[in-house]
Structure 1
Amino acid sequence: MSNQPYLQDSYFDNMPQEISLKRWQSTVNVVSEIFDVPGAWIMQANIKGVEVLVANESIQDDFPAGIAFDFNVNVYCKTVIQNKKTLYVKNAEKEGIWNNNPEYTDAGFKSYLGVPLQWPNGDMFGTLCVLDTNETNYPASFIRLLWQLKELIDGDLRNLLLIKKLKKQSVTDELSEINNRFGFIENARQLISLAKRSRMSLSLMYFDINGLKIMNDSYGHKMGDFIIKTFAEALSKSIRKEDIIARLGGDEFCFLGVHQFDDKGETVKLRVTQLFAELTKSDERIKGVSFSVGCKSFDPVNGFDLDKMLSETDCLMYANKKSTKEAQK
C-alpha cells in the first residue's frame, strides 16, 4: 500500500484471543442506539490502511467489518489518526474539505464524530466513531461519553500488551532471553505435530557449558552470567529462524529443528564454537571455556517422545563430556 505508515497487522484477519470482540461489538451497538445514528465503528490503522474492525449490527450489510480505505483516501478517521485527537464534523457540506471523501460523497455521511484509540505508549491503534447522513449537534455530554468508551477500549489494548508480556515472560529465560524449559516444550510440541503431519525427521542437540562453575568461583557470577548470555547469542546466530532453542537451566541448552545433521551436528557445533570464540575474544579468561554436546535425529516412524528424546541426547552429551575429559588426561 502506498505511503502506508501503520505497519501493525490487521486484527480483522487475526483478532488476538485476549480481546473480547463480543464486548467491542456490544459497544458499537449501544453507541449507535444512544447517538441515534445509522453507523458506529471501531476502526484500525494497519497495513491495509484504515480498516473497519467492528460495525454496529444495523449497518453491517452495507459497511461490514473488513472494508479498508487506502491511507491516501481522505476519510474522516484518517484525520483523527494523524492528529491523535477528537474530530467532530457537524455537516461536511458546510466545511468544504470533504468533497473527496467517499464516506460523504458516495455514502452520504454528512456528520462524523470520532475519537482516537491508542496503545499505552501513545501510538495510534485506530478510532471509535459514529456517522450520520444528517447534520448533527451533539451536546458536550455525548462527546464525553464517546471519550469514556474510548478509554475502556484503550484499557483493552493495555491489557492485551500486559497479557502478552506475561506470556512471554512465562516462556522466556530472563538471563539468556531465549526460551526457558517451559517455552521449549510448548514450541517443541508444535514442531513435533508438524513433523508428524509432514512425515519429517527432527534433530535434537543438547549442550552443556564446560567449566562454568570454575569461572563462577574464580571471577564471580557476573562472569558466569556473561558466559551464559554470550553462549545463547552464539547459539541463536547459528540456527535457522524456524529452529527452536532454549536454556533448560543452569549451563544446559538445547536445539530442536527439522533434520539437517548428516554430519551428526558437527557443522552447528563448529559454528557455535566459532561464534562464541569471536564474541568472547576480548577476554582472555574465557579462552578455556568450551561445551559438550549430544546430537541425535528422530523420525516419525519411531515416533517423537519428547521426554525420551531429551533423555537420549542428554546421555549422548554426557558421553561426549566424559570422552573429552579422558582425552585431556
Structure 2
Amino acid sequence: MFDTDQWAFSGVDGQISLHKWQKTIDLITGLFSAPCGYIVQATSKGYRVVIRANEGGSHFETNSILPPETPLFCKYVAENNNTLYVNNASNDAQWSTMPEVVEDGVESYLGLPIHWPEGEVFGTLCLKDSKKTSYTDEYFELIEQLRDLIEDDLALIYSFEQMREIAMLDPLTHIYNRRALCMLAQQKLNLAQRLSFNVCCLFIDINDFKKLNDTCGHEVGDKALILLANTLTTHLREADIVGRLGGDEFVVVMQLSELSQLDPIIDKISTEYSKILLQNGICALTLSVGESYTSQEKQPFESLLNLADKEMYKNKQAYKLTKKV
C-alpha cells in the first residue's frame, strides 16, 4: 500500500506538474494581497515546504525540512486537521509567543489542511501576512476551492502509486513479481559493471512443496510461500532485491563485498524459515538454493538467472538422492 508518510516529491515530480501548484500559490497570494504563501507537507519526519510564493522574506525555503517538534502554525493545522485563521497574532495570547510571530513578524496566518484521498493529512495550504487581516467568507470559499484542486492532484499520485504496486508486486507474497525483479536486477547489474562490485543471484526452491500442497491443502501451501517471502525480506538487507518467479521459486539479487559472506546468509535463511514454519504449525521444509555471480563482462540478468537455476536444480537432485538413501 502507498505510504502517505513518505515525502511526495523530491525535486522532480513524476505524476503532476508542480508548476501548476506554483501558479496556484501565486494566484492565491495575489488575490489575498499576502506576501507569503506555502504548500507544506507534514510527515512524522517533519515539515517540508513544497511550494512557496514569498516577496516579504522568511526563514522558509522551498524543500527545506523543519523537525516535527518545531512550533508552527502549520503544525497546529496538520495535527488538528482543521482550518486555522489568526488575523492579529501579536495581540492574541495563544499565538503571540510563536517564533513565526516573534522572529518573523507574522501577524496573520490562514492555513487549511490538505488531504490524501483516504483522509490522511498531506499537509497545509497557508498564507502569511505581516499585517492584520480581515478575510471574508468569500475568501475562505475561494481558498477552499483551490485546496480541492491540489487534493485532486494528490488523488492522481495515490492512484498512480497503487497501479504501480499492482504491476510490480506478486499478489500473494507482496514481493516483486518476475517483471519487476528482472527490471530492477538488470539495473543493479549495469551499476555493478560501472562501479566494479560483485552481484550474486540466488535461485531458491522449496523442497517437497508439492507434497505439502497435496497433504495439507493449497491454503497451507500459500502460507508457506508467504512465510518464505517474509523470511527473505526480514533477514536480508533493504537494498537486496527479493522476488517470486512463480510457484515456489524465489530469487534474491544482492551485492556482496566478499563471496565468503554468502554461505552464512543461506544458512541463516534456511534456519529462520524452518523456525517460522514450525511457529505457524507447518512442518519444517528445506530449501534448495542455486548461486551465480556476475562476471567482468556485461551480461543480461536472464543469463545470471539461468545459471542460478541450473545450480539450484543440481542441488535439488542431490537432495532427492539423499532422501532415497
Paired with 2:303 and 2:123, the residues of 1 have a C-alpha distance of: 49
Taking the aligned partners of 2:316 and 2:65, their CA distance within structure 1 comes to: 59
Q: Is the 8 A contact 1:178 1:245 kept in 2?
A: yes
Equivalence for 1:158: 155
Q: Helix, strand or coil: the match of 2:20?
A: helix
| Aligned-residue offset at 1:68 | 5.5
Residue number in structure 2 paired with 1:308: 303
Deviation at 1:61, TM superposition (A): 8.8
Q: Give 2:75's aligned residue.
A: 78
| 1:230-282 Cα distance to aligned partner (Å, 9 max, x none) | 22233334423322221111111111112367469543332232222212226
Identify the range of structure 1 (199-208 vs 54-63) with the bigger mean alpha-carbon deviation.
Answer: 54-63
**Cα distance in 1 between the residues matched to 2:65 and 2:199:** 42
Q: Tell me the residue number matched to 1:321.
A: 316
Structure 1 residues not aligned, in runs of 5+: 1-6
Determine which of 116, 119, 124 is the counterpart of 1:119: 116
Q: Alignment partner of 1:173: what SS?
A: coil
Deviation at 1:21, TM superposition (A): 1.1
The alpha-carbon deviation at position 172 of structure 1 amounts to 1.4
Distance 2:116 2:22 in 1: 20
Q: TM-score, normalised by structure 2?
A: 0.84
Cα pair distance change 1:209/1:79, threshold 3 Å:
closer
- How much has 1:96 moved relative to structure 2? 4.2
1:223, distance to aligned residue in structure 2 (A): 2.0
Counterpart for residue 296 of structure 1: 292
Taking the aligned partners of 2:250 and 2:70, their CA distance within structure 1 comes to: 52
Matches of 2:60 and 2:257, distance apart in 1 = 50
CA distance change for structure 1 residues 261 and 173 in 2, over 3 Å: closer, same or farther?
A: farther
| Corresponding position: 1:216 with 2:218 | no
- Structure 1 residues 114-123 or 139-148, which shifts more? 114-123
What residue ranges of structure 2 are gaps of 5+ in the alignment?
A: none
Q: Say which SS state the counterpart of residue 56 (structure 1) adopts.
A: strand
Could you say which residue in structure 2 is the equivalent of 1:95? Answer: 92
> Which residue is 1:3 aligned to?
none
Change (3 A) 1:124 1:240: same
Aligned residues: 321
Does the aligned pair in 1 maintain the 2:182–2:302 contact within 8 Å? no
Amino acid at match of 1:325: K
- Paired residues of 1:118 and 1:124 also in contact (CA < 8 A): yes
Q: Which residue of 1 aligns with 2:53?
A: 56
The aligned residue for residue 20 of structure 1 is 17
Task: Tell me how far apart the structure 1 counterparts of residues 70 and 286 of structure 2 sit (CA, whole Å).
Answer: 59
> Do residues 234 (structure 1) and 231 (structure 2) align?
yes
Cα distance change on mapping 1:28 and 1:210 into 2, 3 Å? same
CA–CA separation in structure 2 for the residues paired with 1:226 and 1:42: 44
* Partners of 1:207 and 1:291 within 8 A in 2: yes
**Superposed displacement of residue 45, structure 1:** 2.8
Q: Deviations over 1:164-221 (max 9, x none)?
A: 2222222111212221112212321232233122201111111222322232233321
How far apart are the structure 2 equivalents of 1:63 and 1:313?
52
Deviation per residue, 1:270-307 (Å, 9 max, x gap) = 223222221222678734x43322112223x2333211
Could you tell me which of 192, 196, 199 is aligned with 1:199?
196
Measure, in 1, the Cα distance between the counterparts of 2:91 and 2:265: 69
TM-score, normalised relative to structure 1: 0.83
Report the CA distance shift for 1:188/1:59 in structure 2 as closer, same or farther (over 3 A).
Answer: farther
Code of the aligned partner of 1:298: T
Correspondence for 1:35 among 25, 32, 45: 32
- Structure 1 window deviating more from structure 2 (202-211 vs 43-52): it is 43-52
One-letter amino acid matched to 1:167: R
